[in-house]
């Protein structure tokens, strides 16, 4: 029946068994990870990754930077436990020798925008508490070197966080966000983007995108949640 089905009475059915056509997770013991409840009200967890490699020798920093990874899925799908997200975070933690935080966030249509944006913002604000309350040693991480990475709709969320928090994220002190990485960010809205105006893809045609956008947006939600050209003008 597909990954998600929305009925006219508002009932939402999500597939429990999804056949991911992806390579198996390769665990070479270079990274350890753990799941942590960070939002009791909404039962939201994040997955925390820590490299096991020793820190680089001086003059390189000995404390580990923090990378917050926001998964994609069009605001309707995805999770920290999906193999594409998990594999990506394993590679980032190992390759960059960094602590990676991969939070889940509320999904539409059960929770329409701006719910996901609010959850992403709360993750930034709680990053210090998560580090202090987890199995990490607070002396191992550098709260002044935090980076936000977003994939697809996660890239949209990373963009809005950058606009909301501003340069240096002063409101999060002592946490300091140094930069944002947008991986194939998803933007859309009433005004068509260039990619939307081009030839449709088999799995992402305009009809399907418009239908999904209808499930994501709450009545009266500013279109700037989707269209970056409006919010940055």
Averaged pLDDT, groups of 10, the chain, 233 residues long: 78 80 72 92 95 82 92 93 92 94 95 93 82 74 94 95 88 90 86 77 76 79 48 29
pTM of the model: 0.88
Q: Where are the beta strands (DSSP E) in 61-103?
A: 64-70, 99-103
Residue 199, token pair as written in the block: 């030839």
Radius of gyration of the chain (CA): 18
3 state DSSP class of 92: helix
Give the model's pLDDT for residue 162.
93
d(CA 205, CA 197): 10
What's residue 150's pLDDT? 97
pLDDT at 223: 54
Asked if residue 121 lies in contact with residue 172, where contact means CB atoms within 8 angstroms, the answer is: no
Whole-number pLDDT of residue 75: 93
Kindly tell me the sign of the dihedral angle through the C-alpha atoms of 149, 154, 160, 165.
negative
Which two tokens mark 15? 């597939």
Cβ pair 232, 163 in contact under 8 A: yes
């Amino acid at each position: 029946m597909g990954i998600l089905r929305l009925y006219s009475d508002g009932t939402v059915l999500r597939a429990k068994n999804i056949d991911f056509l992806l390579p198996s997770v390769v665990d070479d013991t270079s990274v350890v990870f753990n799941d942590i409840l960070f939002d009791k009200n909404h039962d939201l967890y994040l997955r925390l990754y820590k490299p096991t490699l020793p820190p680089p020798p001086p003059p390189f920093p000995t404390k580990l930077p923090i990378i917050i990874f926001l998964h994609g899925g069009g605001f309707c799908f995805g999770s920290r436990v999906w193999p594409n997200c998990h594999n990506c975070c394993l590679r980032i933690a190992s390759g960059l020798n960094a602590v990676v935080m991969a939070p889940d966030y509320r999904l539409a249509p059960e929770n329409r925008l701006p719910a996901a944006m609010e959850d992403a913002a709360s993750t930034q604000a709680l990053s210090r508490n998560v580090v202090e309350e987890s199995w990490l040693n607070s002396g191992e991480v550098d709260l002044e070197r935090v980076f936000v990475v977003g994939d697809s709709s996660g890239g949209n969320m990373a963009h809005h966080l950058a606009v909301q928090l501003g340069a240096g994220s002063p409101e999060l002190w002592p946490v300091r966000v140094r930069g944002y990485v947008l991986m194939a960010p998803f933007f859309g809205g009433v005004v068509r983007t260039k990619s939307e105006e081009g030839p449709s893809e088999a799995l992402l045609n305009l009809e399907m995108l418009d239908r999904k956008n209808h499930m994501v947006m709450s009545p009266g939600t500013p279109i700037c949640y989707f269209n970056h050209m409006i919010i940055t003008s």
